[in-house]
Structure 1
Amino acid sequence: MLCTSRLPHRTDSPRCAWGAPLAGRGHETRARASTCASRAAPPHAARASPPRRAAAAGGPFAPLPLPPPPPPSSHHPYPLIPPVQSLMSKLLKKAAGKLEDYAASRASSGSGGGAASSSAPPPSTPLDVLPSRRDILLHRQQRGVNLGSLFALEPWLTPSLFEGVASADSEMDLLRALPAAEARERLERHWRGFLDAGDWKWMREHGINTVRLPLLYVHFCASQAPQLLRHTEYAPYVDVYAGAWAHVERVLAQAAQHDIGVLVDLHGAPGAQNADGHSGLSGAKVQLWDGHAAAQNQTRTVEILVALASSLAPHEHVVGLELLNEPRNGATLQAFYERAAGAIRGAGVHMPLYLADGWDAPHYAQLVARREDFCVLDTHVYRCFTKDDHSHSASSHARSMRPGGASHGMLSHWSTAAQRSLVVGEWSAALNPASLHNCGDAKEAQREYAHAQLALFEETCAGAYFWTLKKEGGADPGWCLYTAIEQGILPSSLHPLASASAPSAEVLLRARHAAHEAHRTYWAAHGAGDGAHEAFAEGFAQATKDAAAFWQCDRSTVGFTQQWRRTRTQAYEKAKRSSNEWEYAHGFAQGIGAFKDALK
């Protein structure tokens, strides 16, 4: 089962004195292992059980039609469609449009596409131009980590910030408990000291190429759009956050200096999009969706997202904006997504938009697939919170992540439905003690589980972000990336191909000839004659050139494979004016796969 929230810190967890260094400060690697708080046994009864993800299958809105089944494997990737003949080209294109997932992603839809004028993507990179640095940053496989409690605070991660605050559950509790000047001083000191150059260097050295940056709306609005802060819960604290955005921009600059992308995540919206403390409010009434102020809060949130997206757009290393974190699902969420996305596109901002799945991934995967613009589905994967989680051993959880397992099948299905525009925005190596009971070697069992997750996410998703980089207290390989790597729960690099070498031109040429011959043979056997099928060969060749350009950029691999294939296929169609763009797309898909296979 998938969990819908992170629970608060243990009341018995070690707490650092105010101002003590967090685990993972960039100077002393060995010290980090002993300064991440243990959270192997989260307080399961600390708050009411969250809505179950499975329950969302019968949501309050009519389900979108299911997409076509996944195409055959790369070893036999040709759908059985009518022969390629000039007199049947119209029928061919219609059939290919149903069977080719790239074509499905181009089709407009009243349920998800928004206004065509606002959702259409910007001009694609011409065929004769290699992918730009920006292309690579947006489309590469994201091997990431969350910068949890840097800006959107969570007391269990940084308890020293909340010293003297009784029963703290959210950032708002800190503000209400302290004089404004003291609150500002604490926050400013925290923002300045949470990350240093050593942290960024460590992330690079361990295969991290992207970070997810959770923010509350006040961090942006206080100085950049104070008019949008009026009549919100954080309006009285505008002076406390006057310097917040300067610290956010410093983080963006540091990430760019180390060639690390940033996914900015609106973790807390006006009124709160969920009832958890990490939305920025304690005991939230979820007034983004409920109550007399809901409509006003939704309008204000859309305005904030447009302003935030416009501010982030010039930053080359900002790879996307997540519209909401873990929003409560309901009849309003999809309409909100469409409204916000349409407003952002209408403002001329075309960065990728990330949509949290609202604990109904099958539904929102189809919404993502039907949009014409670059949208991505975000799902969160935890296996430590529910009674069902506790009833399974670590080995059982690991088996579920492997081919043939339930979690593997589920994530594979969602990825196919979303046309691989899917990331796991949060995951961890944490397990309930019950799952480690009678395991023999508990550390090895946890390692097996963590490695199985990594392999699954690399196979099925365009990215994954561990929760979280660092936290205060004792060693915790379940939730602290520093400790997880240092203790061997996770590999030393999150990039599984970090030690691979680029394939030679000869290897790629042989692969292209073999794939082209197989393609020709297949269509000859299915009534298409022995044509040249040059579009297939062109697609394959372009894909390997592009993949090589990605690899030369920090050993990146193409993660959003179908989104990038769609971009290249659109450019091919525009340049060639050909009805064989489906063949080009086939060749392109196989070329991307062939390059990655040759890296192994």
Structure 2
Amino acid sequence: MKGLLKKAKAEFDKLTDSDSQSHQQPQPQLPPRPSGKPSYSPGQQQTHYRGMDQDQPSTIREPSALDILRYRYHHGTNLGSVYVLERWLFPSRFPDGASGSSELAAVTAWVERIGVEATKAKFEEAWSNAVTDEDIQWLTNEAKCTTIRLPIGYFDLPGTEFTRSTPFEPFAQVYAAAWASIRTLISRLRAHSIGVLLDLHALPGGANAQEHSGTNSGTAGFWNSQGNRDLGIRCCEFIAVEASSGLDIVGIQTVNEAEWESERMYEWYDDCIAAISAIDPSIPVIVSDAWNLPKAVDYCMKKNIAYPSRPTCPVLIDTHYYWAFTDADKRKTPQQIIQEASKKLTELDGKEGSVLDRGAVQALVGEYSCVLTEDSWSKAGDTPRADLVRQFGNAQSRRYQLRAGGAFFWTWKMDWMPGGEWGFKAQASSGAIMPSVNATIPERDIYNLLERARHRRDERMYAAVDQHVSYWDHTAPNMPAEHWRYENGWKVGYQDAYVFFEGRGTQAVGQGNKIGNMEMWVLKRVRESGMRGGFVWEWEQGLRRGIRDFEGVVGI
């Protein structure tokens, strides 16, 4: 019977998906902007008893401005080599004759040449000038950027405790103001409704052997050192305390590009998640897939269960896509790579759609670019390179918007702006990297579409509930049901999507936000619903249908 029920539920989901898609791209109405807003009434909570499965009080509230910042689709870029230096991006930040290409190489060379205080002043000036007010206006108005992934290092956190017994200990004073600079940047971006995902790009010892781990050691010494692992957790705890005290961030990324099969990596993830959850379980935590996305998917689905034994942060996956480094990619034509890019993230297939049954999984593409090897470009044929670059960027933009919770181009800032095929400025300006459709709707039409959604709400709700009840009356006429849960969930989902689209409580009113991290949002709402028992799946499916119905009405 359980297998039959699951099969029937799956068929019903396909049916409702098809129905929702049939209502895409409506013509906007032209009434005046609504003076009122729809009330937020998710329906009267009912008490259901099934053994010990008693419903709990609902804690659902309207999506907050911070919820919108965290759970909308993240169209953005990495800030790049500002707080964690890489010489190839910012050679000007290194003195002539510096022997390495990492942050440690730069600070060591400058201190040797001009002393600690002068180096401190030089670094602080670079941080303060990295992002201008004009830059933020461009991100907002031209690139339609919602989120920045901000790489930082453990040495950027305040106080000597974070650099003690590390290679950066002699230079702690240089970084004394780094965290204040980071906070200021977050606040400036937040004032324009641009969120920041804080990425612990450089961990002590290095989570990988590359220069972007902070040194040129050539080793990934983080994983086999208990002291380094403990310090990494303290870094996460510090950021969590800051976030819980009013620093509005999208989430905490615990590590960047962890080495493949790193020693006890998932145990360390468990420790980080537990530590952050103990401080504030609402903060999204992002973990590296260590170049093994299927394994990370399985891990996250186990972490993101509907009913954890204690409040637990939502956990998302950071995965990166490049086609510029391997011999296998060198043998491919640009056209072949464009086709590949349009089919990424199939590891998520069959894993989404029911957090109650499977847990939740959501991936972010933390880094990607429009760069291919010259070997690939030599196989391009007669098609102009600029056309293929645009096709490549378009294919990635479309695919990530369809299958990921967000994507961050590598990278935005470098000495050689606008950056060519590595540059977000260059590729966003050329149209290769595209924002999602909802971000390009004119502000005047947002209000018209909201009014349309208000008028269509009851019609869509009755149709959805009738379809749900009719389907189950026909498929399983003698099966117990609690269809009131479906209606309740639908109301919550429709109103959630409405509030996101409106941008309520944010500086982004009129930007047309969409719930992009759907699986994480559904997980959050299921946990907050307080519902228990054998029929909560009806509530979850109603929630999903309500969101889809709103999106169908406004055409996103």
TM-score, scaled relative to structure 1: 0.74
Q: Which residue identity does 1:426 align to in structure 2?
A: E
CA shift, 1:282, in A, is: 0.3
Which one of 142, 149, 152 corresponds to residue 212 of structure 1? 149
CA shift, 1:277, in A, is: 0.1
Q: Which residue identity does 1:395 align to in structure 2?
A: Q
Supply the distance in 2 between the matched residues of 1:337 and 1:265 (Cα, whole angstroms): 14
Supply the distance in 2 between the matched residues of 1:289 and 1:570 (Cα, whole angstroms): 33
Supply the distance in 2 between the matched residues of 1:365 and 1:560 (Cα, whole angstroms): 15
Structure 1: 5+ residue stretches without partners: 1-67, 79-88, 94-122
What are the superposed Cα offsets for residues 344-363 of structure 1, whole Å, 9 maximum, x if unpaired? 22344541111111111111
SS for the counterpart of 2:420 is coil
CA shift, 1:528, in A, is: 3.0
For the pair 1:471 / 2:414, whether they are aligned, the reply is: yes
Is contact 1:148-1:467 (8 Å) kept? yes
- Identify the range of structure 1 (387-396 vs 542-551) with the bigger mean alpha-carbon deviation: 387-396
Q: 1:556 to 1:446 in 2, by over 3 A?
A: same
Q: Which residue identity does 2:371 align to in structure 1?
A: A
Which one of 250, 269, 272 corresponds to residue 203 of structure 2? 269
For the pair 1:188 / 2:124, whether they are aligned, the reply is: yes
Q: 1:415 to 1:582 in 2, by over 3 A?
A: closer
Is contact 1:125-1:567 (8 Å) kept? no
For the pair 1:498 / 2:440, whether they are aligned, the reply is: yes
TM-score, scaled relative to structure 2: 0.80
Give 1:381-400 correspondences, 5 Å limit.
381-400=321-340
What are the superposed Cα offsets for residues 455-494 of structure 1, whole Å, 9 maximum, x if unpaired? 1111111111111113222653321111112223223x45
What are the superposed Cα offsets for residues 162-210 of structure 1, whole Å, 9 maximum, x if unpaired? 1414453201111222223443233122101111111111111121111
Q: 1:269 to 1:124 in 2, by over 3 A?
A: farther
What are the superposed Cα offsets for residues 320-377 of structure 1, whole Å, 9 maximum, x if unpaired? 1111111113241001111122122234454111111111111112221222431111
Which one of 468, 475, 496 corresponds to residue 546 of structure 1? 496
Match of 1:24 in 2: none
Structure 2: 5+ residue stretches without partners: 1-5, 18-48
CA shift, 1:562, in A, is: 2.3
Q: 1:418 to 1:565 in 2, by over 3 A?
A: closer
Is contact 2:204-2:222 (8 Å) kept? yes
Is contact 1:401-1:456 (8 Å) kept? yes
Supply the distance in 2 between the matched residues of 1:411 and 1:428 (Cα, whole angstroms): 22
Q: Which residue identity does 1:367 align to in structure 2?
A: Y
Q: 1:414 to 1:273 in 2, by over 3 A?
A: farther
Q: 1:480 to 1:411 in 2, by over 3 A?
A: farther
For the pair 1:258 / 2:192, whether they are aligned, the reply is: yes
What are the superposed Cα offsets for residues 281-318 of structure 1, whole Å, 9 maximum, x if unpaired? 1033222123xxx1111112212221232123323530
Which one of 522, 535, 549 corresponds to residue 594 of structure 1? 549
For the pair 1:428 / 2:366, whether they are aligned, the reply is: no
Match of 1:563 in 2: 520
For the pair 1:319 / 2:250, whether they are aligned, the reply is: yes
SS for the counterpart of 1:471 is coil
CA shift, 1:392, in A, is: 1.9
Give 1:336-347 correspondences, 5 Å limit.
336-347=268-279
CA shift, 1:537, in A, is: 1.9
CA shift, 1:594, in A, is: 2.0
Q: 1:522 to 1:415 in 2, by over 3 A?
A: closer
Supply the distance in 2 between the matched residues of 1:337 and 1:489 (Cα, whole angstroms): 35
Supply the distance in 2 between the matched residues of 1:387 and 1:315 (Cα, whole angstroms): 47
What are the superposed Cα offsets for residues 381-407 of structure 1, whole Å, 9 maximum, x if unpaired? 1122112222222222222233xx4x2
Match of 2:462 in 1: 513
Give 1:478-493 correspondences, 5 Å limit.
478-491=421-434, 493=435
For the pair 1:448 / 2:391, whether they are aligned, the reply is: yes
SS for the counterpart of 2:391 is helix
SS for the counterpart of 1:330 is coil
How many percent of aligned residue pairs carry the same amino acid? 24
For the pair 1:525 / 2:525, whether they are aligned, the reply is: no
SS for the counterpart of 1:428 is strand
SS for the counterpart of 2:372 is coil
Q: 1:496 to 1:572 in 2, by over 3 A?
A: closer
SS for the counterpart of 1:195 is coil
Match of 1:126 in 2: 59
Which one of 279, 298, 301 corresponds to residue 366 of structure 1? 298
Supply the distance in 2 between the matched residues of 1:149 and 1:235 (Cα, whole angstroms): 21
Q: 1:414 to 1:394 in 2, by over 3 A?
A: farther
What are the superposed Cα offsets for residues 510-544 of structure 1, whole Å, 9 maximum, x if unpaired? 33233222212221121235978222122112211
CA shift, 1:136, in A, is: 1.8
Q: Which residue identity does 1:582 align to in structure 2?
A: W
CA shift, 1:508, in A, is: 3.7
Match of 2:42 in 1: none
Supply the distance in 1 between the matched residues of 2:78 and 2:63 (Cα, whole angstroms): 27
SS for the counterpart of 1:429 is strand
Is contact 1:310-1:349 (8 Å) kept? no
Supply the distance in 1 between the matched residues of 2:155 and 2:299 (Cα, whole angstroms): 29
Is contact 1:420-1:461 (8 Å) kept? no
Match of 2:30 in 1: none
Match of 1:47 in 2: none
Match of 2:235 in 1: 304
Q: Which residue identity does 2:440 align to in structure 1?
A: A
CA shift, 1:77, in A, is: 5.5
Q: 1:362 to 1:77 in 2, by over 3 A?
A: farther
For the pair 1:295 / 2:232, whether they are aligned, the reply is: no
Is contact 1:573-1:581 (8 Å) kept? no
Q: 1:486 to 1:497 in 2, by over 3 A?
A: closer
Match of 1:31 in 2: none
SS for the counterpart of 1:207 is coil
